[in-house]
A = this chain, B = another copy of it.
Amino acid sequence: MRATLLYQAGDVRVEDVPDPKIQQPTDAVIRIVVGCVCGSDLWPYKSAPLTDQPRQMGHEFIGVVEETGPEVKTIRPGDLVVAPFIYADNTCEYCRRGLQTSCPHGGQWGINGVDGGQGEATRVPYADGTLVKLPVAKDSDLLPDLLTLSDVLCTGYHAARTAGVTAGESVAVIGDGAVGLCAVISARLVGAERIILMGRHTQRTDLGREFGATDVVAGRGQDGVNELRELTGGAGTERVLECVGLKDALVQSTGVVRDGGTISRVGAPQYPEVPLGFPEFLRNLTLTGGVAPARAYIEELMPHILSGAIHPGRVFDRTVSLDQVAEGYRLMNDREALKVLVRP
């Protein structure tokens, strides 16, 4: 089959790889209907060293089940399914607590003999635990919306939930990428009254307003902090959803959060340490969040998509075929596209 491989920074190729096969009795093999490129794919795309062991890319996909191992019970060939960006058994203690990202049997797509999500097919470990059936046909117009359940919508929702956003509150969302925009949707879902989106790409922040942002702050660094504080009578917001992953964004978060407030970070940290020393201790700031256990939220969020209440799939502003996937990476890396859908 054809799959996307990353050889080094900027060098994405689509090549033949072995067809996936059932290896464990709990496996399924699925044929991918739609995948996409993630903001987090851009970190290795920017910086990976040259290798002759290229990694299969992609961790968000919807597909049709082709074959299941003898112990798979809930998933059947022909089912249309969505996968979270980390597979997991969904039965262990961590999974039962909704922390599937810490499942000892879980893992990442694209390594250890498991295929990536930017290809024609993949083997799915722990298919019963990992996959969630979709009650639509594979040509449904809702597929882009449902694909966001793999990662970005659940990641934005994880930010809102772990930050403890409740009805009537003010929230700052830092970052106008796909995750930031999904954090806006999520803050609104849990009832936030005021949602201040911090980002400087007008096209993206305009979409953020349609998703529910009540205010947009375009200033960066201290300018942005001052602007947000002015909007909130000086105090800042009780909750901040940090959807970037850079240290500057975290510093900005400490600048806009109210004393006693909570910063939830869901952007993969590109820093080893967090600037939370004595001054932030005196302010009783909380840092929470982390990699989103998307699997924990899929069933909860799906009805909002099926009912048409939310349209997170609008973050996809470009579609490419599998053969054009390198162009998809370039478009996102150059910020010509917000998020790119890949149709094998």
Contact = CB atoms under 8 A, between A and B. Distances in A.
B282 A287 contact: no
Contacts of A99: 259-260, 284
A189 interface: no
Contacts of A282: 101, 290-291
A18 interface: no
B289 A284 contact: yes
A88 to B, nearest CB: 12
B283 A102 contact: yes
A280 B289 CA distance: 10
Contacts of A101: 282, 284
Interface size class of A (residues with CB under 8 A): 20 to 34
Given A269-B277, A281-B269, A259 B94 contact: yes
Given A260-B99, A274-B273, A281 B288 contact: no
A167 interface: no
A59 interface: no
Contacts of A94: 259-260
A259 B260 CA distance: 24
Interface in A75-126: 94, 97, 99, 101-102
Interface in A170-211: none
A286 B284 contact: no
A308 interface: no
A102 B290 contact: no
Interface string A283-310: 1111111110100000000000000000
A273 B283 contact: no
Interface string A52-66: 000000000000000
Contacts of A290: 280-285
A268 interface: yes
A269 B285 CA distance: 13
Given A97-B260, A99-B284, 13 more contacts: A102-B283, A162-B284, A162-B286, A269-B281, A271-B277, A272-B275, A272-B277, A273-B273, A273-B274, A273-B275, A280-B290, A286-B286, A288-B288
Interface of A: 94, 97, 99, 101-102, 162, 259-260, 265, 268-269, 271-278, 280-291, 293
11 contacts: A99-B259, A102-B259, A268-B278, A269-B278, A269-B281, A271-B277, A274-B287, A281-B289, A282-B290, A284-B293, A286-B289
Chain A to chain B: the 7 pairs with minimum beta-carbon distance, closest first: A284-B290, A102-B259, A273-B273, A272-B277, A286-B288, A99-B260, A274-B274
